[in-house]
Amino acid sequence: SYGLVALVGRPNTGKSTLFNRLVGKRVAIVHDEPGVTRDRHYADAIAGNKRYTLVDTGGLDPESDDPMRQGIARQVELAIAEADVVICVLDARVPITPAEHAELGLLRRSQKPVIYVANKSDNPRLETEATDLYRLGMEQLLPVSALHGRGTGDLEDAIEAAL
């Protein structure tokens, strides 16, 4: 079966926009399983010479007391556990949140290959303004605009290399 690549990140960072961008017109089957994967959406995609299955998740907020949000967080933990590669989607335009700090720790502990994305880098100016993200010290942070397609070629290269 194909490698599984999971999109994670807090709500509103652009995971679903990136999901649609990466799956694009090449989507063969969106194989959601109603009742089983309520908060996860699966679709097949291609990066370079590799086929993979992309998983979109609801937002991650491990600190939340809200049962619904905790349910989504569980879904995300499951998505990370089953994934071969994780794409951590951050918003380049806003400072990192405490929930995201927790998320980054969770990802480091997961021992999975993680690709960090500074989404909403719609232009080079926004890209350089994402400095607080660069200070977090991740090996690589890819500036991407899911909305406009900027940087998604580099992201596909990174996915292909990680699979």
- The verdict on 57 binding ligand GDP (CB under 6 A) reads no
Taking contact as CB under 6 A, which single stretch among the options 12-20, 44-52, 64-72, 105-113 is the one that binds ligand GDP? Answer: 12-20
Selected binder of ligand GDP within 76, 146, 155, 158 (CB under 6 A)? 146
- The verdict on 41 binding ligand GDP (CB under 6 A) reads no
Please, is 32 exposed, middle or buried when counting C-beta atoms within 10 Å of its C-beta (0-12, 13-18, 19+)?
A: middle
- The verdict on 16 binding Mg ion (CB under 5 A) reads yes
> What minimum distance in Å lies between the beta carbon of 6 and Mg ion?
13
- The verdict on 136 binding ligand GDP (CB under 6 A) reads no
Strand 3-8 to strand 50-57: parallel, antiparallel, or no bridges (unpaired)?
parallel
- The verdict on 20 binding Mg ion (CB under 5 A) reads no
The residues binding Mg ion (CB under 5 A) are: 15-16
